[in-house]
Amino acid sequence: MSRAQEVLQEFVSRVRSERCPTAWDLLTHRYQIRFVEASGSPDKARELFCQGYVLQGQALVQGDWVQEVVGRRPHHVVSPPPEMAVKLPAGEALIFVVQQDGGYVSVVLVKEGQGTKLEPFH
Protein backbone atom coordinates (compact mmCIF):
# COMPACT_ATOMS: atom_id res chain seq x y z
CA MET A 1 0.00 0.00 0.00
CA SER A 2 1.35 3.41 -0.93
CA ARG A 3 1.77 6.24 1.57
CA ALA A 4 -1.01 8.12 -0.26
CA GLN A 5 -3.40 5.21 0.23
CA GLU A 6 -2.44 4.94 3.91
CA VAL A 7 -3.13 8.64 4.54
CA LEU A 8 -6.46 8.49 2.70
CA GLN A 9 -7.55 5.34 4.52
CA GLU A 10 -6.61 6.76 7.90
CA PHE A 11 -8.53 9.97 7.18
CA VAL A 12 -11.64 8.09 6.04
CA SER A 13 -11.44 5.73 9.01
CA ARG A 14 -11.31 8.66 11.44
CA VAL A 15 -14.13 10.56 9.71
CA ARG A 16 -16.40 7.51 9.78
CA SER A 17 -15.68 6.65 13.39
CA GLU A 18 -16.06 8.44 16.68
CA ARG A 19 -12.53 9.76 16.11
CA CYS A 20 -13.80 12.40 13.72
CA PRO A 21 -12.20 15.30 15.62
CA THR A 22 -8.80 13.62 15.11
CA ALA A 23 -9.37 13.50 11.33
CA TRP A 24 -9.08 17.29 11.49
CA ASP A 25 -5.42 16.77 12.43
CA LEU A 26 -4.80 15.07 9.06
CA LEU A 27 -5.77 18.20 7.12
CA THR A 28 -3.00 20.56 6.04
CA HIS A 29 -2.37 23.55 8.26
CA ARG A 30 -3.25 25.99 5.47
CA TYR A 31 -6.57 24.24 4.86
CA GLN A 32 -7.35 24.35 8.58
CA ILE A 33 -6.64 28.10 8.61
CA ARG A 34 -9.01 28.72 5.70
CA PHE A 35 -11.66 26.56 7.39
CA VAL A 36 -11.30 28.45 10.69
CA GLU A 37 -11.54 31.79 8.87
CA ALA A 38 -14.76 30.65 7.16
CA SER A 39 -16.30 29.32 10.38
CA GLY A 40 -15.26 32.10 12.75
CA SER A 41 -13.36 30.14 15.40
CA PRO A 42 -11.22 27.01 15.85
CA ASP A 43 -13.86 25.29 18.01
CA LYS A 44 -16.63 26.04 15.53
CA ALA A 45 -14.40 24.85 12.67
CA ARG A 46 -13.90 21.41 14.25
CA GLU A 47 -17.60 21.14 15.02
CA LEU A 48 -18.61 21.99 11.46
CA PHE A 49 -15.90 19.71 10.06
CA CYS A 50 -17.35 16.75 11.98
CA GLN A 51 -20.82 17.68 10.72
CA GLY A 52 -19.50 17.21 7.19
CA TYR A 53 -19.03 20.81 6.13
CA VAL A 54 -16.41 21.40 3.42
CA LEU A 55 -14.91 24.50 1.85
CA GLN A 56 -16.14 25.62 -1.55
CA GLY A 57 -14.08 28.66 -2.37
CA GLN A 58 -14.24 30.69 0.83
CA ALA A 59 -17.65 29.37 1.95
CA LEU A 60 -18.54 26.38 4.08
CA VAL A 61 -21.19 24.09 2.58
CA GLN A 62 -22.75 20.86 3.79
CA GLY A 63 -20.87 17.99 2.24
CA ASP A 64 -19.37 14.57 2.82
CA TRP A 65 -15.71 14.32 3.75
CA VAL A 66 -15.34 10.77 2.49
CA GLN A 67 -16.60 11.78 -0.94
CA GLU A 68 -14.48 14.92 -0.82
CA VAL A 69 -11.21 12.98 -0.52
CA VAL A 70 -11.89 9.56 -2.06
CA GLY A 71 -15.09 10.01 -4.07
CA ARG A 72 -18.21 7.84 -4.25
CA ARG A 73 -16.70 4.69 -5.78
CA PRO A 74 -12.92 4.74 -5.46
CA HIS A 75 -10.99 2.26 -7.57
CA HIS A 76 -7.30 3.14 -7.22
CA VAL A 77 -4.85 5.94 -6.41
CA VAL A 78 -2.44 7.31 -9.02
CA SER A 79 -0.21 10.26 -9.76
CA PRO A 80 -1.60 12.50 -12.48
CA PRO A 81 -0.36 11.96 -16.04
CA PRO A 82 2.24 14.49 -17.25
CA GLU A 83 -0.29 16.50 -19.25
CA MET A 84 -2.29 17.10 -16.05
CA ALA A 85 0.69 17.82 -13.82
CA VAL A 86 0.45 20.87 -11.58
CA LYS A 87 3.47 22.75 -10.22
CA LEU A 88 3.46 22.41 -6.46
CA PRO A 89 6.03 23.44 -3.83
CA ALA A 90 8.61 20.90 -2.65
CA GLY A 91 7.13 18.37 -0.24
CA GLU A 92 3.71 18.40 -1.94
CA ALA A 93 2.22 15.88 -4.34
CA LEU A 94 -1.01 15.83 -6.30
CA ILE A 95 -2.75 12.47 -6.43
CA PHE A 96 -5.90 11.26 -8.15
CA VAL A 97 -8.35 8.81 -6.64
CA VAL A 98 -9.70 7.22 -9.81
CA GLN A 99 -13.35 6.24 -9.59
CA GLN A 100 -14.93 3.08 -10.97
CA ASP A 101 -16.74 5.18 -13.60
CA GLY A 102 -13.45 6.68 -14.81
CA GLY A 103 -13.78 10.04 -13.06
CA TYR A 104 -11.39 11.12 -10.34
CA VAL A 105 -11.05 13.11 -7.13
CA SER A 106 -7.91 15.24 -6.66
CA VAL A 107 -6.08 15.50 -3.35
CA VAL A 108 -2.82 17.20 -2.40
CA LEU A 109 -0.53 15.43 0.06
CA VAL A 110 1.82 17.66 2.02
CA LYS A 111 4.71 16.73 4.29
CA GLU A 112 4.19 18.70 7.50
CA GLY A 113 6.29 18.08 10.58
CA GLN A 114 6.70 14.35 11.08
CA GLY A 115 3.71 13.32 8.99
CA THR A 116 1.79 13.65 5.78
CA LYS A 117 -1.36 15.79 5.67
CA LEU A 118 -3.98 16.17 2.96
CA GLU A 119 -6.33 18.69 1.46
CA PRO A 120 -8.88 18.51 -1.34
CA PHE A 121 -7.68 19.98 -4.63
CA HIS A 122 -10.29 21.73 -6.77
By the 8 A CB rule, do 117 and 109 touch?
yes
Over pLDDT 90: what percentage of the chain?
81
By the 8 A CB rule, do 95 and 107 touch?
yes
Q: Where are the domains of the chain?
A: 3-120
Q: How far apart are CA 28 and CA 109, in angstroms?
A: 8
52 pLDDT above the threshold of 70: yes
DSSP the chain: --HHHHHHHHHHHHHHSTTHHHHGGGB-HHHHHHHHHHHSSHHHHHHHHHTTEEEETTEEEE--HHHHHH-SSEEEEEPPPGGG-----TTEEEEEEEETTS-EEEEEEEEETTEEEEEE--
**Confidence tier at 73 by pLDDT (50, 70, 90):** very high
pTM for the model: 0.90
Question: Could you read off the pLDDT of 86-122 as tens digits, one per residue?
Answer: 889 999 999 999 999 999 999 999 999 889 999 999 8
